[in-house]
Amino acid sequence: MGACLQPLLGDPGLTKHQGELLTGTIRAALPAQVLTDALAAACAAPAAGRGAAHPPAGSGWSEHTVDVLLGVLGGKPVLSAGVLAQLAEACAAAAAAAATGLAASPKFAKLVLSLVRQYLDAAAAAKPALQRAAQACTSFMAKSLLAAVGKL
């Protein structure tokens, strides 16, 4: 499953309509226990060009990727501490990557805040990565995000 989703979720050219279709397909066709695979696929590093180093996971995300991830999290999948840690690291990389423009996105801040609030125990273990993602945020939600991560 992850091998099919990773190229789609890691594509910076993912359009709004493709994202909506992907979200609907994932939520309608996949059982809740498989939603974790969709999130893990988003955390996989994008493919590198021939002879190039692999870019960090999350560096190819766009606003539409964030929409898909929020849609998947809306299905309340059970996440292991390992998957949440991978997702937190990918969020930190996405926020740090200037090309994604996600640091200023309220949707991206909502994604990180969802991880903190829905998965409190696992999020505590991933606090350093979540802290980096929160510190990079510049949207109007930055203060509340930093406060939520600080409480972990």
Is the confidence at residue 56, as pLDDT, over 70? no
Question: Cα dist. 5→8, 11, 23, 70, 91 in Å?
Answer: 5, 10, 11, 15, 17
Question: Distance (Å, rounded) from C-alpha 19 to C-alpha 7?
Answer: 13
Q: Which spans in the chain are helix H?
A: 2-9, 16-29, 35-43, 63-73, 81-96, 106-118, 120-125, 127-136, 142-150
Name the more confident of 35 and 54: 35
Residues 69 and 8: their CA atoms lie apart, in Å, by 12
More confident residue, 136 or 22: 136
The pLDDT of residue 109: 93
Q: Considering the entire predicted model, what is its pTM?
A: 0.80
Q: What pLDDT score was predicted for residue 51?
A: 42
Confidence of residue 47 (pLDDT cuts 50, 70, 90): very low
Give Dmax over CA atoms of the chain in angstroms.
Answer: 43
How does the average pLDDT of the chain come out, rounded? Answer: 80
Residue 50 has pLDDT above 90, yes or no: no
